[in-house]
Chain A
Amino acid sequence: MTRYLRLFVVQMRISVAAGMAYRADFLLEGVMAIAWMALTLLPLFVLYSGRKDVAGWDAPSAMIVIGYFLAVRAVLEGVVSPSFVDLVERIRSGAFDYVLLKPVDAQAIVSASRFEPWKIFDLIGAVVLVIYAFTKIGHPPALADLGLGLVLFVAGVLAMYSLWILCAAASFWVVRLDNLTYLLGAIFDTARWPVQVFRGLWRFVFTFVIPVAVMTTFPAMALLGRLDAATALAVIGGSLGLLVVSRLVWRTAIRSYTSASS
């Protein structure tokens, strides 16, 4: 276990070093993070300039959903997505052979092969946004709700990670699927809205088929103290279940890996 921890630290250090090499990006990424946050918030402002309340969500509580959305997206774009791009490239070029030869679990290596350290700005922005929303609401979250909100954030990140691993597994069978991450990104984009805003089929799809609700809506409800224990447990159980499934699929997929080069 400590071996894996050390491995992650080393890979993180290499990525930070690589990031430091392009110091001008520091400023650029900071400005971009603010611009993206503004762009993410704009539809919300438009919506709440015409309505006080949408499906039980007022503006500050919907802002908390967006806070979670920004935070999960920061993890996605900071860790999961760059590593995924790396993996697809390795499968295509055959360099994945070397990963399999290493005396550690292949999934552990590919899951954290590259970091985008600047995405920390997005994470900070998300926290600031949530704090701002709570000043609008007028009282801070209860300690228990805060704890549950954090636990569900981890569960949401795990669910998102599992979906990406499933896609990674698919790229063993269909090699040219690098743009699958764009598709997942596009679907993940819906997570910025509370799932109750959607009706009928949409809500079903976003809750159960592609569980974007698990990543943002339910954690936000927990933070607001609106989530009952049964749903919270279901969310945690669902995320862990998805993680197990993705692990099994990964192991099956890796067996059908036929090296692309010598």
Chain B
Amino acid sequence: MSATRTLRALPTLLRVGVAETVAYRAEFLVWILTTTLPLVMLGLWTSVAQDGEFKGYSSAAFVAYYLANLIVRNLTGSWVAWQISEEIRLGAMSMRLLRPLHPYVAFAASHLAAVPFRSVVVLPVAVVLLVSSGASALTTEPLQLALIVPSLVLAWIITFNVMFMIGSLGFYVTKTMALLNLYFGLFSLLSGYLLPIPLLPVQIRWFAEWMPFRYMLSAPIELMTVKLDAAAAAWILVAQSGWAIATLVLALVVWNRGVKRFEAVGG
């Protein structure tokens, strides 16, 4: 399994990914629509903030935060854990293991291919964000603007790695869905998905700083909506890179050890 061969397969994999997305477009649209939570929280907090600022957050700040949240979540969201655990359960994993290509690359390519479709849904929202809440709650710092895209890419990688790891745990335990629920609970609390991290109670906030979740969602949002000094902005990227590497190693270790005990149910 050489690197050049993997590279040569990449365009084809991306094409397959696009075809898959188009084939299951109804399902795909539903997946995108399930990320309505930021919109609901947006409705809640803006009506709360209409009677005055809530702990330093104005109505406009909430609009910017949750719309940025929606954009980041849509661009970086991953469902690879479902795919892996389904393939393990139904035995389709055997086919995948026969191919001369690491499944990590195959899954990543099929996810990457879906990103343009997700952007089509997200872009109109981004425009609404810029028009409605204006520049007041968004950053204009050139450095921060430049860091948004790398931060999004890193957030995508960390999310994908974590989901890949959870999916690979399906080799060890049968109840992957319970694990996913647990993960999503932690994620929505500690990543800033439910509430901006500064609004969390102090003890939980401290915890959130040291977990990877913040760097999966909150980091790009912070770059978009909070005015940071250069050191703080750079630190976010450094921490994201660190977590990207750590989660990659962890995901591959869990996968490699798991594959060895794979018994191939069904056929």
Chain A residues close to B by CB (< 8 Å):
25, 28, 32, 35-36, 39, 42-43, 45-47, 50-51, 54-55, 174, 176-180, 182-183, 185-187, 189-190, 193, 197-199, 202
Contacts and interface: CB of A to CB of B under 8 A. Distances in A.
B34 A182 contact: yes
A38 B54 CA distance: 22
Given A43-B194, A43-B195, A45-B201, A179 B27 contact: yes
A28 B113 CA distance: 37
A35 B185 contact: yes
Contacts of A187: 36
B34 A183 contact: yes
Interface string B51-67: 10011000000000000
Pairs of residues from A and B, 10 with the lowest C-beta to C-beta distance, nearest first: A202-B43, A186-B34, A199-B47, A190-B40, A182-B34, A183-B34, A198-B43, A179-B30, A50-B55, A176-B27
A182 B82 CA distance: 13
Contacts of B182: 32, 35
A179 B82 CA distance: 11
Nearest to B196: A46
B185 A183 contact: no
Nearest to B31: A179
Interface in B216-230: none
A46 B43 contact: no
A92 to B, nearest CB: 12
Interface residues of B, number: 33
Contact of B44 (A35, A45, A198): A198
B26 interface: yes
B185 A50 contact: no
A179 B51 CA distance: 38
A43 B185 CA distance: 13
Contact of A28 (B34, B178, B194, B195): B178
B30 A177 contact: yes
A197 B48 contact: yes
Contacts of A179: 27, 30-31, 34
Contacts of B200: 42, 46
Contacts of B34: 179, 182-183, 185-186
B37 interface: yes
A34 B50 CA distance: 33
A25 B44 CA distance: 35
Nearest to B53: A50
18 contacts: A25-B175, A32-B178, A39-B185, A42-B200, A43-B41, A45-B201, A46-B200, A47-B48, A51-B54, A177-B26, A179-B34, A186-B37, A189-B37, A189-B40, A193-B40, A197-B47, A199-B47, A202-B40
A198 B178 CA distance: 32
Contacts of A199: 43, 47, 50
A14 B36 CA distance: 36
Interface string B19-53: 00000101100110111110011011001101100
A183 B48 contact: no
A189 B201 CA distance: 22
Contacts of B204: 42
A168 B191 CA distance: 33
B239 interface: no
Contact of B189 (A42, A45, A182): A42
B199 interface: yes
A71 to B, nearest CB: 19
Give the residue among A174, A179, A180 with the most B Cβ atoms within 10 A.
A179
Contacts of B40: 189-190, 193, 202
A2 B36 CA distance: 42
A197 B47 CA distance: 7
Give the residue among B30, B31, B195 with the most A Cβ atoms within 10 A.
B30
B48 A51 contact: yes
B43 A36 contact: no
A46 B185 CA distance: 17
Contacts of B48: 47, 51, 54, 197
Contacts of A182: 30-31, 34
Contacts of A43: 41, 194-195
Contacts of A55: 47
A199 B26 CA distance: 30
